[in-house]
Amino acid sequence: MASNNQTTGKQNYHIGYKEDTLKAFELRNVTTCLGYLVPTLEALPPTFTLLDVGCGPGSITFDLARRFPQAKIIGVDLGQEVIERNNANIPLHAPGTGIEFRAGNILEPESLFSAEEIGSGFDVVHEHTTLICIPNNIEVLRKMKQLAKKDGGIVACREGDTHSQLLWPPCPESAELQERIYEMNGLDTQTGRKLLSKALEVGFRRDQITASASVLSNITAEERLPYAGSMITMLADENSQYRRATAKFGYTEAQIEVLRKNMERMIEADDGWRLLICTEVICKLDGDS
């Protein structure tokens, strides 16, 4: 999770950091999101260093720390409040591990890391569905490459392709609003399908890249509730960007009620689910690029 104004340093994440939203993102962990990367991490020395870019509520970061307690793992995000929350939760979620969280802009690494950390680089620089939340996200991927160790460092990305999202029961009105909000914020809902192209654009050779794909899903009632519930909360909050967007686009109260009913129906439907295609790349530096 990262601000959609990562390039400017403004904290204006379009979904927000409210508790309902954080609960939805906390469904994400190593098992559900990093199956493509785990074998690579398991092959590294146990004291590897990992940078988690756009860590949000830290559910993936905490899970990594529990699985690899000797590793030095740093989660970064623009949201000061969510970073403070994460650091306060370390004794609860990952005691005795090498985890920490820092607030700042990844495009300004000197504000986040010491000169020694920047100079030595990280064994792994990772992000999960962060690029899709940032305009001109190629610059973030380029910075991730620069922060990885020049010889043997790994840049790992898993990106959603929101344009591919499927909801059942059908919610076309909700999908249309989401698309319009992404467009309003200069975001690309097809970031996932362009991920390999972006990796090549920042200078990785094709033989350095392992590409794969998987599905991010909300299928069970326990998974659908936080996702759809966070949408309902945003629709009820006059100050949320979702509600401000409906005002900007001229939505009537009746149209907003349709959006709300869509999410309520998704929560209640025994046959309901959300599917989102995600693409994945593991890029390994070898000192020649």
Question: Which residues make Cβ contacts (< 8 Å) with residue 27, sequence separation at least 6?
Answer: 59, 218, 223, 226, 227
pLDDT of the residue at 23: 55
Query: Does some domain include residue 4?
Result: no
Q: List the beta bridge partners of residue 217.
A: 275
Which pLDDT does position 6 carry in this prediction?
42
pLDDT, residue 27, reads: 75
The CATH number given to whatever domain includes residue 183 is 3.40.50.150
- The yes-or-no verdict on residue 112 having pLDDT over 90 is yes
Structural domain includes residue 12: no
pLDDT of residue 142: 98
Residue 121: inside a domain:
yes
In a domain, 6, yes or no: no
Distance separating alpha carbons of residues 78 and 55, to the nearest angstrom = 9
The 10 Å Cβ neighbour count of residue 125 is 26
- Beta-bridge partner residues of 148: 122
Neighbours of 119 (CB within 10 A): 8
pLDDT reported for residue 288: 79
CA nearest 79: which of 9, 167, 166, 181?
A: 9
Going by pLDDT thresholds of 50, 70 and 90, the confidence category of residue 5 is very low
User: Would you say 194 and 279 are in contact if contact means Cβ atoms under 8 Å apart?
Assistant: no
The answer to whether residue 177 is domain-embedded is: yes
pLDDT above 50: residue 287: yes
Which pLDDT value is given to residue 25?
55
Confidence tier at 207 by pLDDT (50, 70, 90): very high
- pLDDT at residue 140 greater than cutoff 90: yes
On whether residue 14 sits in a domain, the answer given is no
Residues 36-64, mean pLDDT to the nearest whole number? 97
The domain of 222 spans: 19-286
pLDDT of residue 221: 94
Decide if 45 is inside a domain. yes
2 falls within a domain: no
Question: pTM of the predicted model, to two decimals?
Answer: 0.89
Q: Does residue 266 register a pLDDT over 70?
A: yes
Domain count along the chain: 1
Query: Over 70: is that where the pLDDT of 2 sits?
Result: no
